[in-house]
Amino acid sequence: MKYLMGLMLALGIAAGLTALPVVDGAVKAGEYAHQASVVGDTATVSWSSDGTGGVFLAVSAPTMGWVGLGLGSAVMDGAYIFMGFVKDGKAVFSEQKGAGHSHKPATDPRADQSAVGQAGGRTTVEFHLPADKLPVKGKSFPFITAYSGAADLKTFHEDNADGGKITLP
């Protein structure tokens, strides 16, 4: 039994396995395998594969209002958007679908874990999407991100918006 446990540990180290991110509303240094600085280097989008085809995602921005991350489109229209904020000490996480220059609540939730946190003047939204719930196809897809100073799901983001590409292993 000791031999088997040792072999499993050695194989895990050799394969480069690391701990999976913890969905707790706070991104710690080294927690995610990949990061992109966005919105003039004020916000960060982070992601890691879960090893089974799913993905852990996080977005953090300098606001006490809402923060959002949309997947599958380089614009709001057609993006599947994950938003969150904290108001009166209560965390709110919402899944939305982009429609034109707006969004509406999604009717088919995808995330099986989510957390929203605030610390140091930043709001962070973290979530996990299992492989069978990914709102995108393929290993590489566009993302959009935005944030606002308001703790709601409606206030416009002004110039606090950007985008990029996520590539999974």
| pTM, two decimal places | 0.88
* Phi, psi angle pair for 19, to nearest 5°: -65, 145
Please give the pLDDT value at position 53: 95
The answer to whether position 4 is within a domain reads no
The answer to whether position 9 is within a domain reads no
Domain encompassing residue 115: 20-167
Of 81, 47, 74, 102, give the one whose Cα is nearest residue 164: 74
The answer to whether position 15 is within a domain reads no
* Structural Rg of the chain based on CA atoms: 17
Domain count across the chain = 1
Q: What is the residue whose two structure tokens read 């939730």?
A: 109
Tell me the C-alpha distance between 94 and 83, whole Å. Answer: 5
Is the separation of the CB atoms in 49 and 16 below 8 Å? no
Please give the pLDDT value at position 18: 67
The answer to whether position 13 is within a domain reads no
In order along its 169 residues, the chain shows pLDDT tens digits of 434 333 333 344 334 456 999 999 999 999 999 999 999 999 999 999 999 999 999 999 999 999 999 999 999 999 999 999 999 999 999 999 999 999 999 999 999 999 999 999 999 999 999 999 999 999 999 999 999 999 999 999 999 999 999 999 8
CATH number of the domain encompassing residue 138: 2.60.40.1210
Q: Please, what sign has the CA dihedral across residues 10, 11, 12, 17?
A: positive
The answer to whether position 94 is within a domain reads yes
How many Cβ atoms sit within 10 Å of the Cβ of residue 63?
A: 21
Q: Is 33 left (phi over 0), alpha (psi -120 to 50) or beta?
A: alpha
Please give the pLDDT value at position 169: 87
